Amino acid sequence: METLYIEPGSPWENAYAETFIGRFGDELLKREVSAKLLEAKVLVEEYRSHYNRERAHSALAYLPLAKFAASCELVSVDKDFTKKLESATTLS
């Protein structure tokens, strides 16, 4: 197995990341001015929570990511693993 890298200046090779980065910029970074790093971390965490738990995604039948993931019965995951995953993704 080998890592494939996106060619510089070729954002169309990773449309998912480019779409997310564009929306993240439009919805948060271009609207908020942070005076301190802690304030920026809090704003990003609030955005992450909103994006995952409340914001409707058209590709997921207008469900939030959390509801869509809960409706998928592909893998049974215990709650301890979910808590560990959430704490790992929380900004420190």
Dihedral sign for Cα atoms in the order 47, 49, 52, 57: negative
Q: List the chain domain ranges.
A: 32-89
Quick: pLDDT tens for 16-37.
777 888 888 888 888 878 888 9
Q: What are phi and psi of 84, to 5 degrees?
A: -65, -40
**pTM value?**
0.57
CA distances to 18, 30, 33, 41, 91 from 37, in Å: 24, 16, 11, 6, 11
Q: What are phi and psi of 43, to 5 degrees?
A: -65, -40
Quick: pLDDT tens for 45-67.
999 999 889 999 888 889 898 88
Distance CA 63, CA 56 (A): 5
